[in-house]
Every structure is written in structure tokens, then in C-alpha cells.
Amino acid sequence: MRIHVDLSFFPDYLISIITDSIEVKQFLIKDNYVTDKDKDNINTISAVFEFHGSIKEFEGQLTSILLKNSIKEYVIAQDMEKENTIAILKSGDLRQLGILVCDFCGALFHSEDEKYIHQRAHYFY
């Protein structure tokens, strides 16, 4: 499966942490680290990976890379408008988009109630 990772919201100096990591470097399609203009004429930076698992498994790989490098202020989120696209966003940016993040595991929610109920489950384990 070809997975696009939108790196537009990720600092340039940290991009190599993702693209050069042992976990995903083998899946990076060479020379596909590109800058394009999107429909609003804004430059987007993305990397394309050919991954043989599911998009959820790839998200897990990216999340572990961020955690391993102590990058806690960014989270991985699927782009619901573009198929097979993942974005790396700053946690604060998600709230502006109406997406809330679990403080414990990084799961994404669309309402405070969903997040609250989910977070209560962390206290049982």
C-alpha cells in the first residue's frame, strides 16, 4: 500500500528523524520527498512510503519513532479527505480542527465526552 505522509506541519529540521529512521526508511520511495502546491495553492511537503501492512500499523511505526525521539508535542493523524494519507500535526493544531487527543496514549476523539470516557479506562489498567 502506498502511504503519503504530510510533513507540512512538522519542522524541517525534524523531518529526517522520520525519513531516516530504521523502522520506515526501508519503505521510503526514493526521490518522492516532494513539495507540491495543494488545491489552495499552499506548498505541502510529503514523503511517500510503500508499506506492506495496514495504515494503522504504519501510524504505530510513526508514533513509536516520535516517542523514541522524545517528540511528544506532535501526533499522527489520518487525513480524512485524502485516501492513504497521514499527517504529523502539533497537538494544539488538532484542537483547532475539532480533534482531541488522549493525554495518556494519543488516541484521537471528536468530543470532550468521548475523550473523557476513554481516559477513565486508563485508570483501570
Cα–Cα distance measured from residue 107 to residue 59, given in angstroms and rounded to the nearest whole number? 11
Q: Over the stretch 25-43, which tens digit does the pLDDT of each residue have?
A: 999 986 556 665 555 556 6
Q: With the C-alpha atoms ordered 113, 67, 90, 27, is the resulting torsion angle positive or negative?
A: negative
In a domain, 6, yes or no: yes
The reply to whether the predicted model has a pTM over 0.85 is no
Task: Indicate which CATH number applies to the domain containing 48.
Answer: 3.30.1360
In a domain, 123, yes or no: no
In a domain, 111, yes or no: no
In a domain, 109, yes or no: no
- The CA-based angle 22-59-67, given to 5 degrees, is 60
Determine the structural domain holding residue 71 and report its residue range. 2-97
In a domain, 73, yes or no: yes
In a domain, 86, yes or no: yes
Q: Over the stretch 57-103, which tens digit does the pLDDT of each residue have?
A: 999 999 999 999 999 899 888 876 788 989 898 877 766 667 787 88
Q: Which residue has the cell 510513526?
A: 62
Tell me how many domains the chain contains: 1
Q: Over the stretch 9-30, which tens digit does the pLDDT of each residue have?
A: 888 899 999 999 999 999 998 6
In a domain, 115, yes or no: no
In a domain, 54, yes or no: yes
Strands 85-90 and 2-6, bridge-based pairing: parallel
Secondary structure of the chain as H, E, C letters: CEEEEECCCCCHHHHHHHHCCHHHHCCECCCCCEEEECCCCCEEEEEEEECCCCHHHHHHHHHHHHHHCCCCCEEEEECCCCCCEEEEEEHHHHHHCCCEECCCCCCEECCHHHHHHHHHHHCCC
